Amino acid sequence: MPLYIIAHLKRIIHPFQTWIWIKMRIEESTFWHQHVIDAEYQWLVDKCRPNTTLIDIGAYEGDTPMFFSLFHNIVNIIAFEPDKTHYKRAKQLLFHESKNPHVNKVTLYNEAVGKDHTFDDNIMYLNPKDHENIRCISLNDALRLTTTSAIVIKCDCEGGEYEIFTQEAKFRNVYAIQLEYHRGPKQIPEILKDKGFKIMLEPSKPSPASDKSELGYIYAWR
């Protein structure tokens, strides 16, 4: 389907959210394309029930918590960004530059979820100095920050997902998860199935140099 048709359909489906997003981030063409045209997180948005808390693991520079705050079913967003530079930019964007009237939904933490990745070469795009002395909490600790009975999780943490979605994680009140994997789905789908989730995998298109992509999304719901 041509991109202009997708954009038009998005305006029909979510006119307020789409246009305020364009107004806020038109200068950030990559994010505009990612969230509005590609509708990267539309699956998770469509899954959200009323009075939902969203846990955002890997908030980057604040684009995803800002995006999710536009939707009325999401009443609370707990966002984590361990990189100090990205956290500083996210804080500035969300709380000082934002034209988004719903930004008060967002609580932003300069913390890591899963494990301390300071010297882990397996985490993509890591600058160790930007992760020094950053507090690390488990997914269970992150989920305890809300008493909401309806929770969804978005995760994009550049390879750290394998230490987050483990057998030790307790998913009480979590009914939907969208996470990006970076080195194949590995054990995560089976773990989530064991926790009572239905699973759908969406591998990214492989690069010209490979016939198999290690990147993709895991969608989980119950």
Q: How far apart are CA 222 and CA 214, in angstroms?
A: 26
Q: Is the whole model's pTM more than 0.85, yes or no? A: no
Tokens, residue 199:
């699973």
In CATH, what number does 42-221 get? 3.40.50.150
The DSSP secondary-structure symbol of 37 reads: I
Where does 50-150 show beta strands of DSSP type E?
52-57, 74-80, 106-109, 112-113, 136-137
Q: How far apart are CA 83 and CA 116, in angstroms?
A: 12
* CA 201 remoteness from chain centre: 16
* pLDDT, tens digit only, all 222 positions of the chain: 455 455 555 554 555 555 555 555 544 445 555 655 556 888 999 999 999 999 999 998 888 898 898 889 999 999 999 988 889 989 988 888 667 778 899 999 999 998 655 545 454 445 555 566 778 899 999 999 999 999 999 999 888 899 999 999 999 999 999 999 998 999 999 999 999 999 999 988 665 555 566 889 999 999
Q: Is 34 exposed, middle or buried (0-12, 13-18, 19+ CB in 10 A)?
A: middle
User: Which residue's structure tokens are 């933490």?
Assistant: 109
Asked if 118 and 130 count as a contact pair (C-beta separation under 8 A), the reply is no
Element (DSSP H or E) covering residue 191: helix 188-194
Where does the chain show beta strands of DSSP type E?
52-57, 74-80, 106-109, 112-113, 136-137, 151-155, 174-181, 198-203, 216-221
Enumerate the domain spans of the chain: 1-39, 42-221
